[in-house]
Structure 1
């Protein structure tokens, strides 16, 4: 399932062909619910009255609340119909909603920056004032956002004061705030660790002179050794959110836990990471989808088949 056909889909299709499978690109926006069309009530372009053997979610187009709800509903329905979905709608919802990500990481005792989410502008200002008094700055993020877009510092950083913006005008009336983790070197960096099937498989450093380290914002990718501490935290974060595969962003911190999880990406891009690693990420994803997820679904389907009727 993808809203764009490009490098990632070509990589996945090649990995599927190598396993004797065919990958079709379908946009969730083009999938419909029609209870008259087939027993399952779904219309998936290219499949007629049938369903795919498995679904790999590569991208979901943005849209209205109603449109996105329908698209996720199709993924929910596929899972309930026994089609393995990689990552399924529940996992994607946990990572798209950054506040839920933070809550689940906290519940699993995964170290992450202190986080707040509030619909009250007054409460957001009080949090910022309290944090500033304690010597901390904050990062204000859109609840639903990616690629480092629309992130804003709040508080004093390097002698410059950054005021709290109007959350109603720019952040849909909700303040999602994380304690700012200052860079420990110049230029600063964080890590992106790829987790597939619960196992950390490869990593890179994202290096930038700017405090935002996303590749889409100009950071450069460097190879990184997948140290045990990085692997353990990334795997723990993926498990806490019940992910099939995930891109986990981590950062070194001068205070508190030495390494902290910043974000978990449920529809992770890996083109930059692939450039600096010899590990074939698309192949690992496809192998895990077929050998674990699809095989498990087929075993469960066989176990649930009705027993042959006994004759007297």
Structure 2
């Protein structure tokens, strides 16, 4: 049985499920606890002692990217790869890749100052959503119904010390039917999908949204796979909106997706799908 590994920071439900799935298959899953891990960049000697394939599950975007790049410098095959993780974590980068691949997305623009942001919002048309260029769980999203709303949001962002807050990603507000869709993609296959319902315009289940099973066959699953492949992700959570006129459009892709709620409502063993994919890569 080939050796596989998992890089992680905190053992959440998902990481424990992956450990259990590996154990049930008799696979050797080596746990790389990132707060305790260190290595010299390019140390292939250490790399030879590590599992040939490592799944990245670090909860921090920055730790996930840096540790992936470090492991890749040691000659380790990481899922997802460093460049794909970097692209997925940067909304401007990932949306650019999706657009280049012809994947439908919400109308989105980027501005670097308040005056430019005002003009951009007028061009897109209110209401608009103002997003950080990175982040997850629906954090730091703001809805502007008009210029006065946008002015307050931009003023608040200008006082924030983080330089990324001076980059204003402005997106159309998609009139979705009280829900969005999360499709989990593993190894080029849509293995499970859920509808996420909420009375709030942010429908992320981490923010209290409720989940129900969604189909993976047909157009929805195919679009999710196209989106994951456009960004280079092998394991991904693809968030999809249903636009009343345009149909399915991809909002974003996630390189370290949570899947507890997906498993709970669909019964699909996502952890087993991931472990099987890792073992397949390790056998090559």
Q: The TM-score by the shorter chain falls in which range?
A: 0.7 to 0.9
- Ranges in structure 1 where 5+ consecutive residues have no aligned partner: 63-67, 297-312
Deviation of 1:39 after TM superposition, in Å, equals: 4.6
Deviation of 1:172 after TM superposition, in Å, equals: 2.0
Cα shift readout 1:106-159 (whole Å, capped 9, x = no counterpart): 000000001112322221111112333xxx421111111100111101235xxx
Matched, 1:182 2:175: yes
Task: State the 4+ residue runs in structure 1 displaced beyond 4 angstroms.
Answer: none
| Contact 2:56–2:78 (Cα < 8 Å) also in 1 | yes
Q: Which has the higher contact order (CA 8 A, sep 6+)?
A: 2
| Contact 2:124–2:171 (Cα < 8 Å) also in 1 | no
- Structure with bigger helix share is 2
- Ranges in structure 2 where 5+ consecutive residues have no aligned partner: 1-6
Match of 2:213 in 1: 223
Match of 2:3 in 1: none
Provide the aligned length of Structure 1 versus Structure 2.
272
Q: Give 3-state SS (helix, strand or coil) of 2:8's partner.
A: coil
| Contact 1:204–1:222 (Cα < 8 Å) also in 2 | yes
Match of 2:261 in 1: 272
Matched, 1:83 2:66: no
Q: Give 3-state SS (helix, strand or coil) of 1:176's partner.
A: strand
Deviation of 1:4 after TM superposition, in Å, equals: 0.7
Match of 1:163 in 2: 150
Q: Give 3-state SS (helix, strand or coil) of 2:159's partner.
A: helix
TM-score (norm 2): 0.88
Q: 1:208 aligns with which of 168, 183, 198?
A: 198
Deviation of 1:7 after TM superposition, in Å, equals: 1.1
| Contact 1:28–1:60 (Cα < 8 Å) also in 2 | no
Structure 2: how far apart are the matches of 1:74 and 1:249? 25
TM-score (norm 1): 0.80
Higher-Rg structure is: 1
Match of 2:183 in 1: 193
Structure 2: how far apart are the matches of 1:206 and 1:194? 13
